[in-house]
Structure 1
Amino acid sequence: MKEKPKILVVGAGYAGIAFLKSLDEECFRLGDFTIINKNSYHYHSTMLHKVATAENSGKIMFDLREFLHPEIKIIQQLVLDIDEENHTVTTEFSKFKYDYLICAAGFEKESFNLKGIENAVFIDSYIQASRICEIIKDKFTKALENGTGLSIAVCGSGLTGIEFSASCANMLKKKLEFYRQDSSKFDKFSVNLISSTPRLLTFFSEKISQKILKNLTKLGVKVTHNTRISSLEKYRVNFQNGGYLDADIIVWTAGVRGASVVSQSYIESERGRVKVDSKLKTFDHENVFCIGDVSAVSDGNGGFYPPTAQIACEQGEFLAKEFKAMLENKDFKEEFKFKSHGVICSIGHSYAVANVLGFEMSGVVPAFLKTMVEKKWNMKLLGLKGLIL
């Protein structure tokens, strides 16, 4: 009997899971599938800011065995090296051979070699987000006991920075109200969002940017525009213009890059993301595919699509169709083409702004749409059960 091809998936983020969840029974009959991930679970990476602020928003983390096909082998180990020439992935404990490799290792923090970056915390994993939550709770408690305040600096005004700032400000307000603190003390507990741009989320219109600013301010977030950071100290953010901001907690949300275990193996890379062709293959090896945050997909205009959960899911689904055809020895002429359906940014629990299919909107409707996007992914994992989680 002919041996099944060994198909190895590295990473259990949106891309890797979308690939595995889009395979049918025939694929598992014809191929031997294994996933390697440092954790035994998958989580909503787009919801990590809620983990960091203890915002109650349904299930965020899922055990891999809870939803993956029983034929898929799960290896919980940290990947240390990928050897494409010898078709081998080395982990902290073992070596694994493959016939086809799917790199979906996700993202890691982008520090831009900033001096003092070790003084910041990062929302780059479920564990880190949980740690930030505990740090905030601990410092909040001590601030109440000592009669002092609490200043949180958020460095970076992208989607994560804005969503975390809003959620964090909400959390602080609720905690102050719970402990029946006088409203005059609220100003001592601040969230400061530092933005290098003249306005927030410049891919939105000026009108939407102003709405974002207005609602952040309403929540108590203090926004600083047009300010670049020169260095970080333990309790201080230094600016290039000579100013500074004292802070009890510094949260870095100024960027991410593809996982270095993948990107360091390739010459053809773009900010830690490996360039891929229209079949999502790397240009160096026919049997290696990159999807999700470690992949750089040409946008046809000389640039690359930004790494988002949306494109990661579509890559995973496309690659599943490609592998099904390959395992069944059928031609697969389709090429990966991406067209964004839009972007949604939540500002608090019941307000969001969005650009959906070219139409901008704000308020409760885009907030509801974002919740539905999250529920849709839950259903991808668990079926109808995911709708009520």
Structure 2
Amino acid sequence: MNTVTRPRILVVGAGFAGVECVRRLERKLSPGEAEITLVTPFAYQLYLPLLPQVASGVLTPQSVAVSLRRSSRYRTRIIPGGAIGVDLKAKVCVVRTITDKIVDEPFDYIVLSPGSITRTFDIPGLTDTAFGMKTLAEAAYIRDHVITQLDLADASEDPAERASRLQFVVVGGGYAGTETAACLQRLTHAAVKRYPRLDPRLIKWHLIDIAPKLMPELGDKLGRSALEILRRRGIEISLGVSIAKASPEEVTFTDGRVIPTRTLIWTAGVAASPLIGTLGAETVKGRLAVTAEMCLPDHDGVFALGDAAAVPDLAKGQDGAVCPPTAQHAMRQGTHVADNVIAALRGQPLRPYVHKDLGLVVDLGGADAVSKPLGVELRGLPAQAVARGYHWSALRTGVAKTRVMTNWLLNAVAGDDFVRTGFQARKPAKLKDFEYTDAYLSPEEVRARVEGAGRARA
């Protein structure tokens, strides 16, 4: 077969799901069997669970950015850009490239794994004030920002300004928020020893969440253990509380408290990528409704998975149960959906996705951790060994594993230098600067664009 007649497989998104799908397709399809294309702004897979360790300086940014071009079987065409619309009927994906050019990418099979965005609410000042923790740039920026607050507090002669710069607020009691607060608190606790003029007692970390429990997925015992560890370190935890409004110099909680602070980190959940809204298809709480085979009903050759899809969780045996948006499910769904794409390509039956949860790991920095592998509750060093062992084994390349292990060992032996790079000091880095939620087309705009392009070609 020549390149014109080869089926075109388009994968949208290079998260856990998308990368695992592409790698499986490369391994199992012969070069002449199909053409594989990946749409992603960056040619790397970001290992999201380790972002808090990047923010705290335990890991370097490059350690968690796994290159997509290192594979020995690398033959996927990468389109650097973001998908902003999909016309399922015409089988065309509209892509905005990194040069800001909008192009139409036709496909025969499409795998939608665009991931998620930070879930926000209509809270005055939130998107203009808060930092997120979803991208590599945000994690690197937050590290610089936190160390900068120590520098500015040390330089200030105003007690009120000094106190506000040394208070930090993290919203979100899930894994991302808890690990972020834990890791950054360790950073500031260690760094303040290098600032003789600063009173360590002025450094205060607040972790708040609207839920009544911290990380309820862990269960009552481990959740209480994590709570005790954080409170023992001096982190003030407020449950059943959220943000009422935010400004550059203070945050108001819903219980009426006003916290003077220059640092608000928002990690209160995720929402499916706005790309899903361009399809005009049925959704479940914003996620695309798909079958257990991860197919979109009534649309041949359309698959969806990961954070953007409501994949039925058959392992739970409950009607309406869907897989949670975790890396564990995304990685396994990526492999499984690749097999189903190949089966569809070869006219073979598709298999439903079934995966039992392997457990949960929470790295609180140092020797502190709580883990629940295969239902076994662990705390302290055993939990830390399981947490880091799981993350290390999940890294896709030997180079990435070597970098991460080296960073862990170096940090354990030598500690941190508390250096701020200043690379992005003059660039905005708030929530509104990273989500680009206004870049997507409506279903009507997608249809009009594709039909207009078709008439122009005719």
Runs of 5+ in structure 2 lacking a partner?
Answer: 404-458
| Structure 2 residue identity aligned to 1:122 | G
Runs of 5+ in structure 1 lacking a partner?
Answer: none
CA deviation string 1:17-41 (max 9, x = no partner): 1111223253443110010101222
Q: Distance in 1 between matches of 2:29 and 2:43?
A: 26
Q: Distance in 2 between matches of 1:266 and 1:53?
A: 41
Aligned pairs, number: 383
Q: Distance in 2 between matches of 1:19 and 1:40?
A: 15
SS at match of 1:80: strand
Instruction: Choose which of 83, 87, 109 in structure 2 pairs with 1:100.
Output: 109
Residues 95/126 of structure 1: CA separation in 2 closer, same or farther (3 Å cut): same
| Structure 1 residue identity aligned to 2:92 | T
SS at match of 2:332: helix
Q: Which residue of 2 aligns with 1:167?
A: 183
Q: Which residue of 1 aligns with 2:364?
A: 347
CA deviation string 1:104-159 (max 9, x = no partner): 11111110222321221111211222222222222221111115241110011111
Q: Distance in 1 between matches of 2:298 and 2:200?
A: 57
1:289 is aligned to 2:306: no
Q: Distance in 2 between matches of 1:331 and 1:89?
A: 26
Q: Which residue of 2 aligns with 1:6?
A: 8
| Structure 2 residue identity aligned to 1:91 | V
1:133 is aligned to 2:113: no
1:220 is aligned to 2:222: no
Q: Do 1:154 and 1:192's aligned partners in 2 also have CA atoms closer than 8 Å?
A: yes
Q: Distance in 2 between matches of 1:83 and 1:349?
A: 49
1:309 is aligned to 2:343: no
Q: Which residue of 1 aligns with 2:419?
A: none
1:71 is aligned to 2:75: yes
CA deviation string 1:161-185 (max 9, x = no partner): 1000000101001111234566xx1
CA deviation string 1:313-369 (max 9, x = no partner): 010011122223333x25234211121111111111332112222222211122112
Q: Which runs of 4+ in 1 moved over 4 A?
A: none
Q: Distance in 1 between matches of 2:83 and 2:6?
A: 23
Q: Which residue of 2 aligns with 1:321?
A: 339
Q: Do 1:266 and 1:274's aligned partners in 2 also have CA atoms closer than 8 Å?
A: no
Q: Distance in 2 between matches of 1:82 and 1:68?
A: 31
| Structure 1 residue identity aligned to 2:191 | K
Residues 357/234 of structure 1: CA separation in 2 closer, same or farther (3 Å cut): same
Decide which moves more: 221-230 or 247-256.
Answer: 221-230
Q: Which residue of 2 aligns with 1:30?
A: 33
Q: Do 1:55 and 1:171's aligned partners in 2 also have CA atoms closer than 8 Å?
A: no
Residues 245/180 of structure 1: CA separation in 2 closer, same or farther (3 Å cut): closer
* Residue pairs, 1:121-270, within 5 angstroms: 121-146=131-156, 148-149=162-163, 150-180=166-196, 185-270=199-284
1:374 is aligned to 2:391: yes
Percent same amino acid at aligned positions? 23
Residues 267/231 of structure 1: CA separation in 2 closer, same or farther (3 Å cut): farther
| Structure 1 residue identity aligned to 2:13 | G
Q: Do 1:275 and 1:296's aligned partners in 2 also have CA atoms closer than 8 Å?
A: yes
1:268 Cα offset (Å): 1.6
SS at match of 2:335: helix
| Structure 2 residue identity aligned to 1:40 | A
Residues 301/363 of structure 1: CA separation in 2 closer, same or farther (3 Å cut): farther
Q: Do 1:263 and 1:294's aligned partners in 2 also have CA atoms closer than 8 Å?
A: no
* Residue pairs, 1:36-51, within 5 angstroms: 36-51=39-54
Decide which moves more: 29-38 or 220-229.
Answer: 220-229
SS at match of 1:22: helix
Question: What is the root-mean-square deviation of aligned Cα atoms in Å?
Answer: 2.0
Q: Which residue of 1 aligns with 2:450?
A: none
Q: Distance in 2 between matches of 1:333 and 1:83?
A: 24
Q: Do 1:106 and 1:258's aligned partners in 2 also have CA atoms closer than 8 Å?
A: yes
Q: Distance in 2 between matches of 1:29 and 1:178?
A: 60
1:55 Cα offset (Å): 2.2
1:385 Cα offset (Å): 4.4
Residues 377/204 of structure 1: CA separation in 2 closer, same or farther (3 Å cut): closer
Q: Distance in 1 between matches of 2:183 and 2:126?
A: 23
